[in-house]
Structure formats: C-alpha cells, structure tokens
Amino acid sequence: MKSSATNEPPAPGQAPIKTRRFSLSLVWVVPIIAVLVGISLVVHNLMQEGPTITVNFKTGSGLVANKTEVKYRNVVIGRVTDVELSDDQKSVNATIKLAKQAESFTREDSQYWVVRPRIGAGGVSGIDTLLSGDYIGADIGQANNRAKQFKGLENPPPITYGEPGKRFMLHTQDLGSLDIGSPVYYRKIPVGQVVAYTLAQDGKGVDIEIFVHSPNDAFVTENTRFWNASGIDVSVGANGFQVKTESLSSMLVGGIAFRAPDYSPNDVAAANDKDFELFEDQLTALAPPNGKAQYLSLRFDQSLRGLKVGAPVEFLGMEIGRVVAINLDFDAKKRSFPLNVGIVIYPQRLGQAYKKMLTAFNHDPNDEAAGIRLMGTFIDNGLRAQARSGNLLTGQLYVALDFFPKAEKVAFDPSARPVVIPTVPGSLEQLQEKLEAMVDKINKLPVERIASNLDGNLVELRKGLSQFNAKTLPGVQSTLADVSKTLQSANSTLADDSPQREKINETLDELSRMSRSLREFSDYLGRHPESLIRGRPENAGPMDLKGPPRN
C-alpha cells in the first residue's frame, strides 16, 4: 500500500519537482582503484626512497652509471646513477642513490672509495672485482651532522669505523720505509697496522697513527716502547753476527714492534690516542730512559775525517750521547780552520753513578746554573774531550769524554751557551807529533860528517890490519918458531923421564896453539874488519873464527 501523499495531485500553479538519484557505473570502478593503487605505490616509493649524494673522485675509472654498485660489508646499499665531469673539469662527480636503510651513510665523516685489485703494504685486496667489476666501497661515519657532498678516497682505509681496538700516535724523526698498512707486531705476531702519517706541525718530525686490534690493544701499556722493525738488524759482537727481523713482510714494506721493558711495576693499559716515541731499534727502545738532555760544544784544532753526525759520545767507555753538529770555523788570529762539534749527552744514562753524584753534590738536575758549576769543577779536574778511532777498517771516529790530570789548565767560561768542553789531540795525533819530533832530531844529526869520519876510520883500520898482517904477525910467528926450536933443542938434551922435559912439551903445545890462534884471528879480521868496532856477534859460531880452509 502506497502512501497517499504520493498520489495527491500537485497544487495549482506549482511545477512538479523531480528528484534524481546518483548512480555509479561499474565501468569507472576499475580505473579509480588503479589510480588509488598507483598513488599508494608512489607514496610508498617516496617514503622508501633513500638520500642522493655526490662523491668526487680524481678519475672515473670503474664508474658506470646505473651499473656500479655501492657496497658496505659486501651488501649493496646504493647505486651510481650518473657520472659527469666537475665544474673545473679536473675531477669526476659520481651521483649515488642510496637505499633508505643506508641514510646513516650521509654523515660528514663517511668515506667512499673505488674497490679494484690492489697490491699494497697490507697485502693484496679487491681480487673479487676481477669477475664482478669495480664497485664503490663505503664506511659509515660517526659524526652527527649530515652532508651531500663527499671527497672520494684514492685508497681504501686500513681500518673501518667501529672496529674494536685503540689508536695511538707515534712521533719519530722520519718515516723510513713505513707506509699506510704497514704491520704492527707484538712478540712477532701482527696485532695492528699503520693507518695514517703526517708531518709534525713544526716540520721537524713525522707523526704516525697506528691501530691495534682488540683484545691485543690491552698489551699497550703506559711503559710500552715502540721501535721501527723495518728491514734487517745486523749486529757484530763478542758472540759473532746477530741478525734480527720481525718477518719477511717487515723486510719488504716495513713494520713497527712494541713491548714494555721486562721490569715495569704497576703498569696499566694505555688510553686511546696516547702519544709515544718511535725509536730506531729495539736496543735503544728498551734501554733505560735518557732523562734530560744537555748540549755541549767542542772545538778541535785538528782534522776529524771520519767523524760523522750521529757518532757516539762516550764517558769512560760508556755511551752517554751522540754528535749532533759538525761545523768548520775560521780563527783570524791563528789563520787556521778549527772544527766546532756539537754534542748532546744524557747524564741519566750513567745509572747508579748519576744517582750517587746527585746525592754527593746535593745537586738538583733542574737547576741549570748548578749543573754548569758542576761541569766547571770536572773541567778543572782534567775533564777533556778527545776524538778517538772507533773502527780501524772504516776509519770512523767517536768522541770520548775522559779525565786527563796532566792536561794543560784551561779557563772555564760559565756564561757560554752551550757549555764549551776543552779538547786534547787524539792518540794518533799525539803519536804523529812524537814521530815528527823524532824525525826532526834525526834530521838535525850531522849524518854526512859521521859517515865521512866512519869511512876514514875504516880505511885507517884496513891499513893497520894490512901492516899487522904484513909485518907484525910474521915477526911474531918467526919469534915463536925460534922459541920452538930452542925448546926442542933443550928437550932433546933432557932425559926422557925428566919433569922438565914434560913441561917443555906442554910449552911447545901452547906455542903451537897460540900460533894457530893468531893465524885464525888474522884471517877473521881480514874478513870482518867491522868487528873491531861492533865486537863479535853474540850468535857467532866457532866456525866463524876458522875462516875458509887454507891451501
């Protein structure tokens, strides 16, 4: 039953009102759904889209747009979308689209580099890129600020952020054969590596940053000593040759070793970023501490060929310093060229003697004036410097500080800076002076006159010997012959058993031996007339007096 209101006719003078209902055709449902899905996908992509950054590299080698990937720990976190020259055309800008989860790689200290096959101090890396192609490596930073422009690294960083361990700074005179990636050894086991190096702010040294991996970083203590373990350490001592090296790698690419001295009481682990000194070798590193350095000046009036910068300075045979400078000077008064030698000594190296000296003199090592007065006392007691030969084969010299009680007194100037230590000539120079004095004395002798007189004496001696042989000796022999005849006549008149006859026979035998001795003596003087001056040689045998056989 329908309502009556709908059957009532319209009032006169009023137009009929028609009502329309909205109807949606099924044809439009599908496009509307598709648009909604598309909008949702766009919104989702916008919400999942990562940041876009630009990395500047020196070259575009290995970079291909829409192909080169960005990886972190071998996981893809982005892709290169464009590669173009920089505005100055001196480098290449690579535009990188990072994934949403890689948004933290936009920190200011994030690092990017191209991974390709490399052979460096740390070994061979990037071998996998031979098959897959080059890609960009990334390392997340730790800064709070964000950035969109980055400078690409030419080489991969040796240590990534977040690696457990500690960093330490070493200070040395020069880099040597060390490089980024050079290993760090503890008891010949690699526990870290060199991560960076730079010149010191004053330009007088090199600062080397190393990283020691955990848990081995606990072995770096407050008393730890570092030394350069590069190459081969060859030493010659009483036990023969000794060759030391950490590994074959350290021989080729250098290395650093560290260890604390054997006696290190109450030693604790070093803090991160602690500064250490890098020594030249293990012996120097593990030696007792040098203490406060003291610079001295020496002045030599002799040639010092063989003395080099770095030569040792010894006190009573113990090394306490080294030579740091050698300069040629000019003395206007003497018109000579002396040598000024600068040395640095470390009195604390004297060990127990240094401690006893401080106690005996009540000396404060920090009181410079007192130290100079003490040095003046030593000089008054004969302290002198001397250049001595350290190696006869190479001719190298070293400086020895020793006491010479008989040395000439020298006035000490306490105001001189650095303190001047008097010198004495070296042992070789003293020997040379003695030889020169001896040669001068020999040259002053009237050698020619002595030789002329000697020749004259020899001529006179020969004449005397000739006269002795020609006149005296025959007369003596004739007299002996007459005596012999007389004795023989007397012997014939005496009885055979007479005692006088026996004595006469003995006398005849003596006369015969005397005649033979005179003849042999005459022959010997004829062959050796100089024996009258020099005497008979001690080693002359009995045959020397017999001479050649007589015909």
pLDDT tens digits for range 240-295: 445 555 545 555 557 899 999 887 778 899 999 999 999 988 888 888 777 788 89
Question: For 343-379, how does the pLDDT look when each residue is reduced to its tens digit (9 = 90+)?
Answer: 999 888 887 888 888 888 887 877 878 888 888 888 8
Among 39-43, 93-97, 518-522, top mean pLDDT goes to 93-97
Q: How many CB atoms are located within 10 Å of the residue 314 CB?
A: 18
Q: At residue 475, does pLDDT exceed 80?
A: no
Question: For 169-219, how does the pLDDT look when each residue is reduced to its tens digit (9 = 90+)?
Answer: 999 998 888 888 889 999 989 999 998 899 999 888 999 999 999 999 999
Determine which helix (DSSP H) or strand (DSSP E) holds 72, and give its type and residue range: strand 69-72
Q: Report the pLDDT value the prediction gives residue 168, as an integer from 0 to 100.
A: 95
Q: Report the pLDDT value the prediction gives residue 179, as an integer from 0 to 100.
A: 84
Q: Report the pLDDT value the prediction gives residue 185, as an integer from 0 to 100.
A: 92
Q: At residue 231, does pLDDT exceed 70?
A: no
Q: Report the pLDDT value the prediction gives residue 192, as an integer from 0 to 100.
A: 92
Q: Report the pLDDT value the prediction gives residue 286, as an integer from 0 to 100.
A: 85
E strands, 316-461, in order: 318-328, 339-345, 383-389, 397-403, 419-421
Reading the block at residue 394, the tokens are 């190479």
Of the two residues 254 and 385, the one the predictor is more confident about is 385
- How far apart (Å, rounded) are the C-alpha atoms in residues 199 and 171? 10
Q: Report the pLDDT value the prediction gives residue 550, as an integer from 0 to 100.
A: 46
Q: At residue 321, does pLDDT exceed 80?
A: yes
Strands 135-139 and 183-186, sheet pairing: unpaired
Placement of tokens 């070293």 in the chain: 398
- How far apart (Å, rounded) are the C-alpha atoms in residues 255 and 102? 36
Of the two residues 4 and 93, the one the predictor is more confident about is 93
DSSP codes, 38-53 = HHHHHHHHHHHEEEEE
Placement of tokens 């000019």 in the chain: 330
- How far apart (Å, rounded) are the C-alpha atoms in residues 276 and 296? 27
Of the two residues 498 and 185, the one the predictor is more confident about is 185
Residue type, 351: G
DSSP codes, 451-501 = HHHHHHHHHHHHHHHHHIIIIIHHHHHHHHHHHHHHHHHHHHHS-TT-HHH
Q: Report the pLDDT value the prediction gives residue 235, as an integer from 0 to 100.
A: 54
The confidence band for 143, taking pLDDT boundaries of 50, 70 and 90, is confident
Reading the block at residue 433, the tokens are 């002076």
CB 296 within 8 A of CB 399: no
Q: At residue 61, does pLDDT exceed 60?
A: yes
The domain locations on the chain are: 45-151, 165-285, 294-440, 447-545
Q: Report the pLDDT value the prediction gives residue 471, as an integer from 0 to 100.
A: 64
- How far apart (Å, rounded) are the C-alpha atoms in residues 107 and 121? 29
- How far apart (Å, rounded) are the C-alpha atoms in residues 180 and 258? 18
Of the two residues 509 and 151, the one the predictor is more confident about is 151
Least confident range from 131-135, 231-235, 424-428: namely 231-235
**What is the helix, strand, coil percentage profile of the chain, to 5?**
35, 30, 40
Distances (CA, A) of 527 to 178, 459, 523, 537: 81, 14, 6, 14
- Calculate the CA 445 to chain-centre distance: 53
Q: What are phi and psi of 547, to 5 degrees?
A: 70, -175
Distances (CA, A) of 220 to 183, 244, 289: 15, 22, 18
Q: Report the pLDDT value the prediction gives residue 242, as an integer from 0 to 100.
A: 55
Longest CA span, the chain: 232
Q: What are phi and psi of 156, to 5 degrees?
A: -65, 145
Strands 165-172 and 240-244, sheet pairing: unpaired
The confidence band for 57, taking pLDDT boundaries of 50, 70 and 90, is very high
The pLDDT > 70 percentage for the chain reads: 70
Q: Report the pLDDT value the prediction gives residue 361, as an integer from 0 to 100.
A: 80
Strands 75-85 and 92-99, sheet pairing: antiparallel
Question: If you average pLDDT over every residue of the chain, what do you get?
Answer: 78
Of the two residues 496 and 489, the one the predictor is more confident about is 489
Residue type, 517: S
The confidence band for 2, taking pLDDT boundaries of 50, 70 and 90, is very low
